[in-house]
């Protein structure tokens, strides 16, 4: 069931339910793409209709940030849970490892995808890393041809938003992959270059605060995030 938060229709799933849906995509001989919007996406999509359409056109729209979950609650249409992209990605890797399959990693700074791939395959030996490409390329079509030639089943697209979502919507079906996921900075996490917040912070819904503490340069970007909550409250009172 979908629940709308400021123009984006989210899937209301637990992490386990999202993993089941993703596993079904990986078993089907057809292209699917999954997006993991946080409050920054919602604000950007308000101004960019193309981005909004690409997000709402995804096979699965997972709430990545606690800000999305709070906004949904304020709107009176609560979501079951936050489903961080990096956790969904880990579940899909486990699923690919169980059935055996090919993984392509697209995005992040040069060297990061290779390191992430090395670590992933070390822990999940039934996965074949069929290719990597950094995220700082000019020729989109050339990258598509490279990805398609590698014949992946699962494709992580980590170019930052909205670039990664627009890339998946435009080129994804030509890659031959069964499932592409837009994952922002996840390759930096899988490569061990960025650490996620400790579980105690995550449980309290404070992953954003931990991120701000470790990367203070994000302060300007993050300062706009409470705006999503204010907008949600405004919409709720308009309805009342």
Least separation, in Å, of the C-beta of 239 and ligand UDP? Answer: 30
Pick 23 or 159: Cβ nearer ligand UDP: 159
160 touches ligand UDP (CB under 6 A): yes
Q: Pick the binder of ligand UDP from 24, 136, 192, 226 (CB under 6 A).
A: 136
107 binds ligand UDP (CB under 6 A): yes
Q: 201 — phi, psi (to 5°)?
A: -70, -40
Tell me the window of 51-59, 117-125, 155-163, 224-232 that interacts with ligand UDP (CB under 6 A).
155-163
The whole-angstrom separation of Cα 171 and Cα 110 is 22
Which of 10-18, 52-60, 106-114, 124-132 is the region at the interface with ligand UDP (rule: CB under 6 A)? Answer: 106-114
Taking CA 69 as the corner, what is the angle to CA 72 and CA 50, rounded to the nearest 5 degrees?
A: 75
**Residue 109 is a binding residue for ligand UDP (CB under 6 A):** yes
Residue 123 and residue 112 in contact, taking contact as beta carbons nearer than 8 Å:
no
Q: Residue 217, Cβ neighbours under 10 Å: how many?
A: 7
Select from 10-18, 124-132, 143-151, 154-162 the region that touches ligand UDP (CB under 6 A).
Answer: 154-162
- Counting contacts by CB under 6 A, is residue 172 touching ligand UDP? no
Among 158, 168, 181, 232, binds ligand UDP (CB under 6 A): 158
Q: Is 222 in the site for ligand UDP (CB under 6 A)?
A: no
> Which contiguous run of DSSP H or E holds residue 9?
strand 8-11
User: Do 181 and 152 meet the contact criterion of CB atoms below 8 Å apart?
Assistant: no
Q: Provide the H-helix boundaries in 82-193.
A: 85-99, 112-123, 140-150, 163-171, 186-190
Token pair, residue 2, equals 């979908």
- Interacting residues toward ligand UDP by CB under 6 A: 107-109, 135-136, 158-160, 163, 184-185, 187-188
């Amino acid at each position: 069931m979908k629940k709308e938060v400021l123009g984006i229709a989210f899937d209301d799933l637990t992490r386990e339910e999202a993993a089941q849906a993703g596993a079904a995509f990986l078993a089907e001989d057809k292209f699917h793409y999954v997006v993991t919007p946080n409050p920054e996406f919602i604000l950007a999509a308000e101004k960019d209709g193309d981005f909004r359409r690409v997000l709402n056109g995804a096979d699965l729209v997972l709430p990545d940030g606690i800000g999305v979950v709070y906004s949904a609650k304020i709107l009176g249409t609560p979501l079951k849970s936050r489903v961080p992209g990096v956790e969904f990605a880990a579940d899909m890797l486990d699923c690919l490892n169980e059935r055996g399959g090919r993984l392509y990693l697209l995005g992040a700074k040069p060297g990061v995808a290779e390191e992430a791939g090395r670590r992933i395959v070390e822990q999940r030996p039934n996965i074949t890393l069929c290719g990597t490409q950094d995220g700082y390329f000019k020729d989109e079509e050339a990258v598509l041809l490279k990805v398609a030639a590698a014949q992946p089943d699962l494709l992580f697209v980590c170019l930052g938003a909205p670039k990664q979502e627009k890339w998946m919507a435009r080129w994804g079906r030509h890659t031959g992959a069964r499932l592409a996921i837009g994952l922002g900075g996840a390759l930096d996490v899988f490569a061990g270059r960025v650490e996620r917040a400790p579980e105690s912070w995550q449980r309290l819904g404070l992953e954003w605060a931990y991120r701000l503490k470790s990367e203070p340069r994000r302060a300007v970007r993050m300062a706009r995030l409470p705006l999503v909550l204010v907008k949600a409250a405004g919409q709720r009172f308009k309805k009342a």
